[in-house]
Amino acid sequence: MNWFIEAIIAGVSAFTATNIDDIVILIFFFSQLNASFRIRHILLGQYLGFTGLLIASLVGFFGGLVIAKTWIGLLGFLPIFLGIRQLIQQDNSEEIPQAVSSEATKPSPLSSLLAPQTYSVAAITFANGGDNIAIYVPLFANSSLPELMVIVSVFIILIGVWCAVAYRLTRYPLIARFLTRFGKRLVPFVLIGLGIFILIDSHSYQLLPLFKSDTTR
């Protein structure tokens, strides 16, 4: 059962590290609600876009079936690199993607899943997920099938939590501003920690000269 707890922790850490900026975008979305742009469009768009990110990242899991886990684990350096890069570039201001068009449209008999507003949210979610794929590929590659199922389940649950938190924060501007300013400062450290976790969990660190045992003596 220890693996179950570790998978939950890995899932929560990976999701949080890669979706802090999504809180800002979601707050922006929820502040744009009107007659033609509804909460259901944001929820469905988030799940649709995130599903695309998960599918793109599953290449890491299938790669893990044919490549030794120890070698794939070296991809753990990627989140470490991203974390260090974010630490260096923290002074750069980040633009929020363009708002979803809120032009009035005629009520459609089609499902909300097919609404253009939903696909607009999904497109922004997917386009903003470059870091997600970079983190999820090595994480999935170093996971067994049961671990992968737990991690993906955690992701699915946290998408709903993320949307609920963002919606509540739109009612508290001071909290939203605080999270936007200080929340992103924690992301680099979470990324670095996640990369170290991947290296240790896959025993990839043993491939590095510093940790190789001296067998010549």
Q: What is the pTM of this model?
A: 0.68
Spatial distance between the Cα atoms of 205 and 20, rounded to a whole number of angstroms: 28
- Residue-wise over 173-199: b if at least 16 C-beta within 10 A, else e? eeebeebbeeebeebbebbbebbbbbb
Q: What is residue 98's predicted lDDT score, i.e. its pLDDT?
A: 47
Sketch the domain layout of the chain as residue ranges.
2-91+113-211
pLDDT in tens, the chain (217 residues): 688 998 999 999 999 988 887 787 788 788 777 777 888 889 999 999 899 889 888 876 776 665 666 676 676 787 788 778 878 876 554 544 444 444 444 444 345 556 778 888 888 788 777 678 878 888 888 888 899 999 999 999 999 999 999 888 877 777 666 656 666 677 678 778 877 877 787 777 777 776 665 544 4
Q: What CA–CA distances, in Å, run from 212 to 83, 203, 206, 207, 209?
A: 26, 11, 6, 6, 5
Spatial distance between the Cα atoms of 65 and 57, rounded to a whole number of angstroms: 14
